[in-house]
Structure 1
Amino acid sequence: MKNLDFNIFQPNKTSLKPAAGRVLIAEPFLQGPYFGRAIILITEHNEKGTVGLVLNKSTELYPDEVIDDILSFEGELFVGGPVSSNTLNFLHTLGPAVPGAVQITESVYWGGDFEHLKKMINEGEASSNSVKFFAGYSGWAPDQLDGELAENSWVVSTLSDEFIMTRDVDDIWEKAMSLMGDIYKTWTNFPRNPAFN
């Protein structure tokens, strides 16, 4: 019998470290409604901890059903994570047109003046093509994420801004894994529950 020089369950770690604008992609057997096969955009990472938004967990709600004063918004509401689920976060590609927005990637921004954003939506200057809303967020205390990375719970990667802002999220975990190469591509074939293997 020949020993393999790799472990399909623990592929070589990427050289990328957590940082704002990068993503965390869940390993295939990570369980739970929030993080099972999740892709999380890191919006903040520093000595105080890490904050991010789950990109691929949509709800059956629409922002204009839960946000006062929005007349119409076609995009669904996403679940950003388990922390402060009664709060609203948003990503957008409107740049400095939304005062106070924080640039995360080349064209994706986080937050900003919410009242101004609502006005832009109502006046047709912003839509679900340029804004994604999230209930709650994902958070890690200092060094907590490092521990999870050491346990191979997440892979740190990058995604295009188009990928980050897509509303078609049903299979983006699989697509993101496939983009990372052959070993990760095999992860897309693993059952969601290892007991079904």
Structure 2
Amino acid sequence: MGEARAGMLLVATPVLLDPNFADTVVLLLDVDENGALGVVLNRPSVVPVAEVLEGWSEVVAEPEVLFHGGPVSTEGALAVASLSRPDDVPVGFREVWGTLGVVDLDTPVELIDGSIDGMRIFAGYAGWGADQLDGEIEEGSWYVVPAEGSDVFRLDPTDLWRDVLRRQPGELAWHSTRPVDPDLN
């Protein structure tokens, strides 16, 4: 497993029973000595983006709904996007990893449109204080694995947890086939 840093995925282990994070895949957007911040990739809501953020539904990837990014600041929104061309960075875009970055939703949509391949908007985020995430990883709550660009903008994120584990090397891939209740096995 890799080290927790921006652009990596946190995949919830069976040990993690917190309903906010059970069976989730979290994309880390920022990790430093003060803590970490990420968004849950596999929890779409039923709320259309157009209902909450007028104009942004034009540039978000399907499904055009808000995603539950995590339990922190759920009244706020955070946007993650992928650049069309690495040499064409629009105003309001901050690189996180490769062509993936965060978009300032106060930026006029016209300045972003045409510069990005895909975008997701998340209500809330997942956050950890200094050393908190390291402690959760050490206790076995998270697998830390590399992200692929397609993880963020999947049309149907339902099987993302299993698919991310399935592509991992060695025994980690075996976890993708575990039943919901191992006692029934």
**What is the TM-score normalised by the length of structure 1?**
0.80
- SS of the equivalent of 1:19 reads coil
Partner of 1:39: 25
Partner of 1:119: 110
Kindly provide the CA deviation profile for residues 48-87 of structure 1, in whole angstroms up to 9, marking residues without a partner as x: 1100011111111111111134465652211110000010
Letter in 1 for 2:41: L
Alignment of 1:127-166 (within 5 A): 130-166=118-154
Matched, 1:101 2:97: no
Structure label with greater radius of gyration: 1
Between the aligned residues of both structures, percent identity stands at: 28
Kindly provide the CA deviation profile for residues 106-161 of structure 1, in whole angstroms up to 9, marking residues without a partner as x: 11111235332x3357xx6378x511110000000001011101111101111211
Measure the CA separation in 2 of the matches of 1:71 and 1:155: 33
- SS of the equivalent of 1:149 reads helix
Measure the CA separation in 2 of the matches of 1:184 and 1:71: 37
Partner of 2:65: 76
Aligned pair in 2 of structure 1 residues 70, 45: CA closer, same or farther (>3 Å)?
Answer: closer
Paired residues, number: 179
Aligned pair in 2 of structure 1 residues 71, 160: CA closer, same or farther (>3 Å)?
Answer: closer
Partner of 2:77: 88
Measure the CA separation in 1 of the matches of 2:144 and 2:78: 22
Partner of 1:173: 161
Deviation at 1:26, TM superposition (A): 0.9
Structure 1 or 2: more strand by fraction: 2
Letter in 2 for 1:101: F
Aligned pair in 2 of structure 1 residues 163, 66: CA closer, same or farther (>3 Å)?
Answer: same
Gaps of 5+ in 2: none
- SS of the equivalent of 2:156 reads coil
Gaps of 5+ in 1: 1-13
- What is the CA RMSD across the aligned residues, in angstroms? 2.3
Measure the CA separation in 1 of the matches of 2:163 and 2:136: 23
Q: Is the 8 A contact 2:91 2:107 kept in 1?
A: no
Matched, 1:185 2:177: no
